[in-house]
Amino acid sequence: MDIKAGKYLKQITFPEDLRKFKESDLPEISKELRDYIIDIVSVNVGHFGASLGVVELTVALHYVFNTPDDQLVWDVGHQAYGHKILTGRRDIFHTNRIYKGISGFPKRSESEFDTFGVGHSSTSISAALGMAVASRLKGDKNRQHIAVIGDGAMTAGLAFEAMNHAGVENSNLLVVLNDNCMSIDPNVGALKEYLTDITVSHTYNKVKDEVWKLLGKISKFGPNAQEIASKVENAVKTTLLKQSNLFESLRFRYFGPVDGHDVNRLVKVMNDLKDIPGPKILHVLTVKGKGYELAEKDQTKWHSPGLFDKISGEIIKPSSNGPQPPKYQDVFGNTIVELAEKNDKIVGVTPAMPSGCSLNIMMKAMPDRAFDVGIAEQHAVTFSAGMATQGLIPFCNIYSSFMQRGYDQVVHDVALQNLHVVFCLDRGGLAGADGPTHHGAFDIAFMRCIPNMIVSAPMNEQELRNLMYTAQLPETNAPFSIRYPRGNGVMPEWKTPFEKLPIGKGRMVRDGEEVAILSLGHPGNFAVKACEELEKEGLLPAHYDMRFAKPLDEELLHDIFSRFKKIITVEDGCLMGGFGSAIGEFMMNNNYSARVTRLGIPDRFIDHGEPKELYDECHFDAKAIKEAVRQAIGEAILV
Ligand SMILES: Cc1ncc(C[n+]2csc(CCOP(=O)(O)OP(=O)(O)O)c2C)c(N)n1
């Protein structure tokens, strides 16, 4: 790939090279870094707006702090492209998110500059505090620990748990709050209003200038810095307590807001802050998508735009002949509106993913009945549970991997009370280029072991609609999980009439002989393809779309285990404890004996790549199913 770094950037392999430049060169270096990100992401796909927004911040952080000895922790990590480029990965950045290439998120195994593996949000303050306390216990007073967290990520409970703890730990922690007023969609909630207030407050800005004047003197005072710092603190407090500062209340010293695109100003401020001990927060104002006009204007679209022409700004969609099947998420988004029009008990809940899961369709159509609660999966679940106690039927849509964070709430607040909450788990299965932090590998296993929970997965759009329809019927009245993958389904004509599905019942897709393939969810389509191709070879396995991992269709399974001695299970989820395990348990419990081959995600974390590359690696695509059938039948011949 012939993308060249600019004249400064090409001299920077590691931050120590950056630190050799004069401060006056930093604006130009920032410009080159931004151009390099635009050049590569436009042809390579990836997160875009977030990294552009923190270019100056990234340059300033690596210029001022002695990384990697000083510990820099990025929250979520989707904004860390500039960091990757400045920390030894410039020349391999074109492999970002590509199979076997570098990860789209900071990853400890990839670089010593990636101090903490991320992907899920709001972990940075806890992790950096842990590092800071470790340094203190080791007697290292000089090491700096910096968490960079967005205003979206700051909405999560985890971030506040960490702030609450950090306020009483006398550790060297700097939280940089990167405030761009955006999550993926516009940020929501009272904290956002508070940050806006503090940003525009005249009183505050006046004080702030005085504080900076004082801070400017600190470096000259050397050992007396602490004394000056406490004067600074008092100056802030006496004036600010009038309007009460949330962060000050949590015993953080609050500094800012500062223009996050003024790299020289950032360098000066950070140099000053280095000398102030204890927990500090620096509020930095940035613009998501900065420097690429279209991304600044439509920040949600340009969060992760796909391929685009960087000159015209056109987002390039893959060409297609004829009507294409819709994305599963859009089937969810449109279907919930259709159902909610008929059933006024239905409400929709998303923790900060309205456009990612398409609940934005309902938010537009029925703003009073659809809630974006911020990056707050735990709250999303318990909030849904609360509404369910009052007879509402919440559809709580959470990406499978983010649901991990709401697990106790699913068990304790929903299932234990047998509340009628419908969980729609988007991105169930291998999620692709986002990699192991985002794969929805575990939900079948972790939902299946919870009493009262109904666990289902549709094989196509029609089944998704019918499962959603069935889930909201009053007689269902139980926690109900429906998981479906990222991306497109298989039915261009997807808007089929609703039909009630019997809970815990599967269906035969094709009858056959010798081998039975039992699939759960979308991988049933891989089985259909495998069966069609095997038929040409004269092999005729039967195929069943089981739909439910719990309750299992025991009647159908008795029939299958009586007729077949070779069973293959297929799922886009972890093998340990998943759907195949459920079939194995059924076999044991009922004293059947059969040769069961389980295809699915093995017991290791799967890296990033195109879904088809990952299905191949994990061995549960059509090719793998064909091989498994041939092997089963071949063995039969040998016997
Ligand atoms: C636990 C969790 N929930 C949801 C997400 C999806 N997600 C990725 S980035 C993002 C927005 C983060 O907003 P902010 O922290 O303000 O960073 P910005 O993108 O604005 O720079 C969200 C919701 C996630 N990564 N982790």
pLDDT the model gives residue 243:
53
Give CA angle at 319 (529, 303), nearest 5°. Answer: 100
Give CA angle at 22 (93, 10), nearest 5°. Answer: 25
pLDDT the model gives residue 636:
57
Residues with active-site annotation: 288, 377, 405
Is residue 261 within 8 A of residue 287, CB to CB? The reply is: yes
User: Which atom in ligand 1 lies closest to the alpha carbon of residue 405?
Assistant: 1
257 preceded by cis ω (within 30°)? yes
Q: How far is CA 74 from CA 86, 96, 119, 123, 447, in A?
A: 14, 17, 10, 9, 31
pLDDT the model gives residue 366:
98
Tell me, using a 6 A CB cutoff, whether residue 288 lines ligand 1.
yes
What are the DSSP E strand ranges found in 290-439?
346-350, 370-372, 393-399, 422-426
Burial class (CB in 10 A: 0-12, 13-18, 19+), 101: middle
pLDDT the model gives residue 93:
97
Give, as one character, the DSSP assignment of residue 502.
P
Q: Please count the helices (runs of H) and the strands (runs of E) in the chain.
A: 26, 17
DSSP assignments along 311-353, one per residue: TT-PBPPPP-SSPPPPBHHHHHHHHHHHHHHH-TTEEEEESS-
Give, as one character, the DSSP assignment of residue 489.
-
pLDDT the model gives residue 229:
59
Tokens of 409: 């709430």
Give, as one character, the DSSP assignment of residue 375.
S
Count Cβ atoms below 10 Å from residue 197 Cβ, excluding itself.
11
Is residue 495 within 8 A of residue 466, CB to CB? The reply is: no
Strand partners, 440: 429
In angstroms, the CA 254 to CA 175 distance is 10
Give, as one character, the DSSP assignment of residue 440.
B
The one-letter amino acid code at 512 reads G
Tokens of 172: 């060297």
pLDDT the model gives residue 190:
86
Tokens of 511: 């009858």
Count Cβ atoms below 10 Å from residue 58 Cβ, excluding itself.
29
Q: Which residues contact 488 (CB under 8 A, 6 or more apart)?
A: 324, 325, 326, 327, 328
Tell me, using a 6 A CB cutoff, whether residue 402 lines ligand 1.
yes
pLDDT the model gives residue 96:
97
Mutational pocket test of ligand 1: of 187, 375, 400, 402, the residue with most ligand atoms within 8 Å of the beta carbon? 375
Tokens of 230: 């406490």
Tell me, using a 6 A CB cutoff, whether residue 184 lines ligand 1.
yes
pLDDT beneath 70, residues of the chain: 1, 201-244, 636-639
Ligand 1 center from residue 183 Cα (angstroms): 6
Is residue 570 within 8 A of residue 625, CB to CB? The reply is: yes
Tell me, using a 6 A CB cutoff, whether residue 121 lines ligand 1.
yes
In angstroms, the CA 137 to CA 101 distance is 37
Burial class (CB in 10 A: 0-12, 13-18, 19+), 571: buried
Q: What is the pTM of this model?
A: 0.93
pLDDT the model gives residue 318:
78
Burial class (CB in 10 A: 0-12, 13-18, 19+), 91: exposed
pLDDT the model gives residue 639:
42
Sign of the torsion formed by the C-alpha atoms of 325, 330, 332 and 333:
negative
HEC sequence for 542-570: EEEECCEEECCCHHHHHHHHHHCCEEEEE
Residue 79 backbone dihedrals phi, psi, to 5 degrees: -100, 10
In angstroms, the CA 566 to CA 594 distance is 6
Task: Tell me if residue 454 falls in helix, strand or coil.
Answer: strand
Ligand 1 center from residue 375 Cα (angstroms): 7
pLDDT the model gives residue 394:
98
In angstroms, the CA 517 to CA 566 distance is 9
Mutational pocket test of ligand 1: of 183, 300, 377, the residue with most ligand atoms within 8 Å of the beta carbon? 183
Tokens of 299: 């920040």
